[in-house]
């Protein structure tokens, strides 16, 4: 008999050491015009984005209904809109805007956003990146 977080098992004890369920969208790639230097905002550059969404996925696991989970398509659409939208100077601003909007979706308890880019002015470098974590208030 499976034990789910927050539920009692057949012996009456609650589950221990249960982690948070998480949806992970990894390696999304979009073009945007962001950076501190004006040259970074003149030509589009590639931004890689990972978004992790904390949510109780037990209902969706039992029902197989999209209505019982966080729709990945909405998370991706938010991310795309922010990265391809209005130019910003800081990766921190982009990550915060994505996180704030994802937290407004139903069933989202927390979100982690990682954004990276390869600024020409900093070559050779694999990536410059920020990662922020936010939870619902």
Spot the catalytic one: 48, 80, 89, 117: 117
Q: What is the pLDDT of residue 18?
A: 59
| Residues in contact with 11: Cβ distance below 8 Å, sequence separation at least 6, in sequence order | none
Q: State residue 109's pLDDT score.
A: 96
50 with 88: CB under 8 angstroms?
A: no
Show me where the domains of the chain are located: 22-135
Catalytic: 117? yes
Over the chain (137 residues), the average pLDDT of each successive run of 10 is: 45 52 97 92 94 96 96 97 97 98 97 91 82 92
How far is residue 96's CA from residue 64's CA, in Å, rounded to a whole number? 31
Is the domain spanning 22-135 CATH 3.30.1130.10? The answer is yes
Check residue 40 and give its pLDDT: 87
**Nearest C-alpha neighbor of 40 from the set 135, 128, 134, 109:** 128
């Amino acid at each position: 008999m499976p034990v789910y977080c927050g539920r009692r098992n057949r012996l009456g004890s609650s589950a221990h050491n249960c982690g948070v369920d998480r949806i992970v969208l990894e390696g999304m790639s979009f073009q945007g015009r962001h950076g501190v230097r004006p040259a970074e905002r003149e030509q589009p550059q590639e931004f890689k984005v990972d978004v992790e969404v904390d949510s109780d996925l037990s209902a969706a696991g039992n029902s197989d209904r999209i209505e019982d989970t966080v729709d990945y398509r909405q998370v991706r659409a938010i991310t795309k809109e922010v990265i391809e939208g209005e130019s910003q100077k800081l990766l921190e601003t982009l990550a915060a805007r994505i996180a704030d909007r994802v937290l407004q979706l139903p069933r989202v308890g927390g979100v982690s956003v990682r954004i990276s880019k390869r600024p020409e002015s900093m070559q050779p470098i694999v990536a410059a990146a920020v990662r922020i974590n936010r939870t619902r208030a």
